[in-house]
Structure 1
Amino acid sequence: MAIILGDNQYGKAESRLVRIYRDSPRHEIRDLNVTTALRGPFEPAYLEGDQSSVLPTDTQKNTAFAFAKSKGVAAIEDFGLDLARHFVDDIGPVAGARIEIEEFAWQRALVDGVEHDHTWVRSGQEVRTAAVTVDASGEHIVGGLKDLVLLKSTGSEFAGFLTDEFTTLPETHDRVMATALDAKWRFAPGTDDARFADRAIDWNTVYADVRRLMVEQFATVQSLALQQTLWHMGKAVLEAIPEIVEVRLVAPNKHHFAYDLSNFALENPNEVFWAADRPYGLIEATLLRDDAPPAGDAWRASAGLA
């Protein structure tokens, strides 16, 4: 029996990087979590302990911090492209680089009703994400967000579902619907060689638009099921933003059950709820344009789109 080494990569995970812009009295902050991974002919490192082609993970970390200063952090997609291109173009043995970035949002503190110039408060738990891969097949970018918590107190139904001898769930035409949305969206390269022209896409504007569209659809669709809501959210994004060719949505159904107050001689017309922790329904959907350029299966899996 022969044993072979399969796919492999290595890198530095979760470098917590904060970039403060101090070139005016009103400072700006970007708060990132950066993970790098390099691919290439690194078999000797695994099979023989030969490190001669291995760029240390500490160097990868240092590069991220140096680039935060020298190139800046205008948008995490651009920052990821800068890093990935550097590793592939400038480091000889590296054939492919994957950069994953999370960005944590801050809002300015208010002092006497006025935004403070250099003090912030963490805003919510939503996290912006980006995954950038550069290799021989081109450049691949997936934007995203995770833990976007949404709740609507009406405008949601669940009825007419399949039942069997184990079904106990009652039908409802007026329920709370809540989720903590994870969403990813794939961008199509804008050039024939499958690379992105520098700053060709306003990543920050696209992110704001995607988030707005998804929240609007969640709020306004009279939902017969969370599946239907996800369809409308993804469809709205693809119809409005031509640079995006695929959307992947993962939505846990954060169940809210009307609590039985009859033992206390109280009525409960959908006003008091038990917010169940687990188990929960998990609804997933992928939407894509029928003319979307293909993405290889291996890349789709690494990007969390498979």
Structure 2
Amino acid sequence: MADHPRPGRPVLLGQNQYGKAENRVVKITRHGATHHIKDLNVSVALSGDMDEVHYSGSNANVLPTDTTKNTVYAFAKEHGIESAEQFGIHLARHFVTSQEPIRKARIRVEEYAWERIDASGAASRHPGTDDAKHSFVRKGQETRLTQITYDGSSWEVVSGLKDLVVMNSTDSEFWGFVKDKYTTLPEAHDRILATQVSARWRFRWSDDEQPAPDWETSYEQVRNHMLQAFAETYSLSLQQTLYEMGSRIIDRCEEIDEVRFSLPNKHHFLVDLQPFGLKNDNEVYYAADRPYGLIEATVLRDGCAARIPVDLTNL
């Protein structure tokens, strides 16, 4: 940011960044006849000594956004894609260390998962296996996320996921809440609890002197702890379930200091079947898409400060 206004114009330039957003890169790694897929959506944002391009239009310090796009694809070949986090680290380090005017790089990555098609009916094409070696189906589950920020000396890695839809068909209640003259919701002692999880977690790792986490293993462990806590918690509120999910991650993943959740309550209401002479014994529900309750909170390791934005759409 400029520390003084331009001559004759008492207006300051504030925070600014530029880059190329949503570069879709698909990397196929071939181990003989067996192929592996990494499918990423990569967004690059760079900041630094960029006052003059705003004030006068001088591009002397500007690395073209088209070049950042080309770098994403070249790095997919040169470095491969071991994990979304490691790929983002390679890119961030490159932009900050190779271009003097660039002081900070932020790399955001969405990863789309694929799984192998069960090809047991195609045994003649793939002898000795029930899985096709190069045939995949896109998983209809969550999207994996990561954001890498590097300023030349320190790192911040925040990973996460979105659109992970989960449901407990029982072991959930909601009662004892505040009631006023506008309250019509009946108390529930056996209800469906469902949500679409959006979560981010911040790693303790911050500099190259520290050993980096195993990014792939860490993601699988965090996701598993999240799901196990959701399944094992007898829930009296979605807030309670959220806290148990975050606590389990903090307790069992020493590399993580902070977890933030945004959990929309995907309401399921019992349908009144009495007009048809039928009893609805917690069997038939109406799934409402909106409006919905929205429960959000951060769970922290003791002694750590919250740094993940409250609004996860800004990360």
TM range (shorter): over 0.9
What does residue 26 of structure 1 align with? 34
Structure 2: which amino acid aligns with 1:232? Answer: E
Structure 2: which amino acid aligns with 1:206? Answer: S
Of 153, 164, 169 in structure 1, the residue corresponding to residue 180 of structure 2 is 164
Aligned in 2, Cα 1:102/1:78: closer, same or farther, shift over 3 Å?
same
What does residue 138 of structure 1 align with? 154
The runs of at least 4 aligned residues of structure 1 exceeding 6 Å deviation read 301-306
Structure 2: which amino acid aligns with 1:278? Answer: R
Q: Distance in 2 between matches of 1:81 and 1:301?
A: 24
Counterparts of residues 186-265 of structure 1 (less than 5 Å): 186-189=202-205, 194-196=206-208, 200-265=212-277
Aligned residues: 299
Give TM-score scaled by structure 1 length: 0.93
What does residue 6 of structure 2 align with? none
Per-residue deviation, residues 243-262 of structure 1 (Å, max 9, x unmatched): 10000011000000011111
Q: Quick check: 1:80–1:101 contact (8 Å CA) kept in 2? A: yes
Counterparts of residues 100-179 of structure 1 (less than 5 Å): 100-112=108-120, 114-136=130-152, 138-179=154-195
Structure 1 residue 304, shift from structure 2 partner: 6.4
Say which SS state the counterpart of residue 141 (structure 2) adopts: strand
What does residue 92 of structure 2 align with? 84
Q: Distance in 1 between matches of 2:76 and 2:310?
A: 28
Which of structures 1 and 2 has the bigger CA Rg? 2
Structure 1 unaligned regions, length at least 5: none
Structure 1 residue 92, shift from structure 2 partner: 1.4
Structure 1 residue 111, shift from structure 2 partner: 1.5
Structure 1 residue 289, shift from structure 2 partner: 1.1
Percent identical: 50
What does residue 14 of structure 2 align with? 6
Q: Distance in 1 between matches of 2:279 and 2:53?
A: 69
Q: Distance in 2 between matches of 1:187 and 1:142?
A: 6
- Tell me which moved more, 152-161 or 196-205: 196-205
Q: Quick check: 1:97–1:134 contact (8 Å CA) kept in 2? A: yes
Q: Distance in 1 between matches of 2:310 and 2:244?
A: 24
Say which SS state the counterpart of residue 22 (structure 1) adopts: strand
Say which SS state the counterpart of residue 225 (structure 2) adopts: helix
Counterparts of residues 62-73 of structure 1 (less than 5 Å): 62-73=70-81
RMSD: 1.9
- Tell me which moved more, 157-166 or 283-292: 283-292
